[in-house]
Chains A and B, each alone.
Chain A
Amino acid sequence: MENLTKLSVSEAVKVIRSGSVSCRVLTQSILKRIERLEPLVQAFITLAPEYALAQADEADRRIQAWRKSPDTPLPPLLGLPIAVKDVLSVANIRCTCGSRMLENYIPPFNATCVERLLEAGAIIVGKTNTDEFAMGSSTENSAYKITRNPWNFDCVPGGSSGGSAAAVAARMVTAALGTDTGGSVRQPASFCGVTGIKPTYGRLSRYGLVAYGSSLDTPGVLGHSAADVAALFSIMAGYDPLDSTCVDLSVPEIQLDSEPELTKLRIGVPEEYFTEGIQPEVRVAVRKAIVVFERLGAEIVQVNLPHTEYALPVYYLIAPAEASANLARYDGIRYGSQLPREDIREIYRATRGEKFGAEVKRRIMLGTYALSAGYYQAFYLQAQKVRTLIKRDFELAFKQVNVIAAPVAPTTAFRIGAHEDDPLSMYLEDVFTLPVNLAGLPALAFPVGFDLKGLPIGIQLIGPAFAEAMLFRAAHAYQQTTEWHTFTPLE
């Protein structure tokens, strides 16, 4: 029964429709695999087996009704088991954001992305581990557990969507939702050897995504292939009146050709992403992948993104500044944990001091400082101006090329504890993913090889705003001719 857990999205949907397997049986086989592997991988904060089985039974009833009257079409993802990062609201399931602050918080509504997937028939099996409030690059900042990289249990899965990436890599679910503020879908996808999309800012609704850096946050999807990720992305994308930054723009149907061919594609390779500090195997694997694209007919062009080195300092001013404002809502009064005190100001101070973890407090302090009187111009405003320069670099590059190909991270997965008590060295892990968020662009990460220790290596294709379909087509063409995305760490 466990081979059911190896199905792609389209295979799972087809198997369910054929009637050879019921949704209940498929969900049970997924839950059984989770039961076996979760003690090793630790990918979930909350598992919801009863909820999942109830959804599966409901889906089975719909299929029976459909057999009697096949005129009403079935929803596109009916019966597909997925997981959701624990910063996206699923109604009536605890949403902790990896924080003690929200240990018992139960959202009364669904995030729009979640709502759309549920309407499409997806079955949610649980909420995955994350760095607290999505602040981190390793998932070690979770207040609940340390998720292991399924390829090597001594290594991190990346972060902050590390639980989702590990759950997909270990085939505990077919696909999972993540979020990406500075690389939090792409970097764990790269570290765990799976495919992950960071959509254009404004393409997907952020309604129900617990806010970290509001001008940077996007929901995202992790799965085993570009085709799987595209299937979920297409359902989640599009206008939502509940998010005023969600753009009212039609979402083109993503046509993935069965014949891989990319003759009209010009791929830019930015010199600045192949610097000294990059692990040699990462450089080699990404270069080899670019050669595959060339063989598929793409033209390879060198491009320059001269302000790349400033993305890190810009991000670590803007994101904490936005976080310091967003996390002001955790006051211990309306929801979340509270430490009882006589005075309301003391409730705020005690609750926030006690219930936020070290990294969250660090970023709130950094952001508060950058926004405070006397430092706003020199830090926050200057960062927003340099952000314009970074965005302009991409605009100029996209006058020459259709997409940009670059490594996702300078290294493969690092060991648990490697950056302990040295936040700046952890921040440097994000150097290649941050520019995309600052410019609001879409990027698709997928595996292109392994290093000498057997850890996955990822590439990212970056596109102009709203060009996700082109990224999916290019990655799909690559995956039609290569096998890196098919390897599984755990039997």
Chain B
Amino acid sequence: MTLSLEEVEYIAELARLELTDEEKARYQKQLSEILEYVARLQALDTAQIDPTFSVLPPRNILRSDRARPGLSIDDLLRNAPDTEGAQFRVPSVLD
């Protein structure tokens, strides 16, 4: 199982990761090796097997629809790189 350089670039773009050419080449080799290793799972017949997305039995978790005290706006903004008033500041997103 070999990943092409274009596939590596496509995955990096989906994951929003800017990679150097050297990183792309290294990940191409390493991810290909790892994918080749994990591909052994495909030899198992699982047609009749359900997936285990969680080990806990699926159930609804509900709580009463009441306002509760949470963190203050100051607490929430304290770690932000760029803020204005009570908001996070970002470059304009819409033209």
Contact = CB atoms under 8 A, between A and B. Distances in A.
Contacts of A344: 90-91, 93
A366 B18 contact: no
B17 A364 contact: yes
B79 A335 contact: yes
Q: Which 10 A-B pairs have the closest CB atoms?
A: A440-B55, A353-B18, A384-B51, A335-B79, A338-B81, A313-B38, A385-B46, A108-B75, A244-B61, A349-B18
B14 interface: yes
A364 B34 contact: no
A328 B15 CA distance: 8
A202 interface: yes
A356 interface: yes
B2 interface: no
Contact of B90 (A333, A353, A379): A333
Residue from B31, B34, B80, B91 having most chain A Cβ neighbours under 10 A: B34
A372 B56 CA distance: 26
Contacts of B11: 365, 368-369, 372
A202 B61 CA distance: 14
Contact of A202 (B50, B56, B76): B56
19 contacts: A108-B76, A109-B71, A313-B39, A316-B37, A332-B81, A338-B81, A344-B91, A347-B91, A349-B18, A352-B15, A352-B17, A361-B27, A365-B15, A368-B15, A383-B41, A388-B46, A388-B51, A389-B49, A427-B34
A378 B43 CA distance: 11
Contact of B27 (A354, A365, A389): A365
Nearest to B49: A385
A397 to B, nearest CB: 16
Interface of A: 104-106, 108-109, 201-202, 215, 241, 244-245, 247, 310, 312-314, 316-317, 324, 328, 331-338, 341-345, 347-350, 352-354, 356, 358, 361-362, 364-366, 368-369, 372, 378-379, 381-389, 391, 423-424, 427, 438-440, 465
Given A312-B37, A384-B52, 15 more contacts: A105-B79, A241-B63, A245-B56, A324-B15, A331-B16, A333-B81, A333-B88, A343-B91, A350-B18, A364-B17, A366-B35, A384-B53, A386-B41, A391-B52, A438-B52
Nearest to A372: B14
B33 to A, nearest CB: 6
Interface string B58-79: 0001010000000100011011
A369 B31 contact: yes
A106 B80 CA distance: 10
Nearest to A200: B55
Nearest to B60: A244
B5 interface: no
A284 B17 CA distance: 46
Nearest to B43: A310
Contacts of A105: 79
B4 interface: no
A343 B52 CA distance: 40
Q: Give the secondary structure class of A's interface.
A: helix
B79 A316 contact: no
Contacts of A391: 52, 55
A440 B53 CA distance: 11
Contacts of B31: 362, 365-366, 369
A369 B55 CA distance: 24
Nearest to B75: A108
A316 B35 CA distance: 9
Contacts of A439: 55
Nearest to B55: A440
B61 to A, nearest CB: 4
Nearest to B38: A313
B35 A369 contact: yes
A325 to B, nearest CB: 10
A385 B90 contact: no
Of A316, A335, A385, A424, most B-chain CB atoms within 10 Å: A385
Given A354-B18, A365-B31, A385-B49, A108 B56 contact: no
Nearest to A343: B91
B43 to A, nearest CB: 10
Contacts of B16: 328, 331, 345, 348-349, 352
A2 B18 CA distance: 50
Nearest to B12: A365
Contacts of A244: 61
Given A334-B79, A347-B91, A316 B15 contact: no
Nearest to A309: B40
B28 to A, nearest CB: 10
Contacts of B71: 108-109
B25 interface: no
Nearest to B71: A108
B23 to A, nearest CB: 7
Contacts of A317: 38, 41
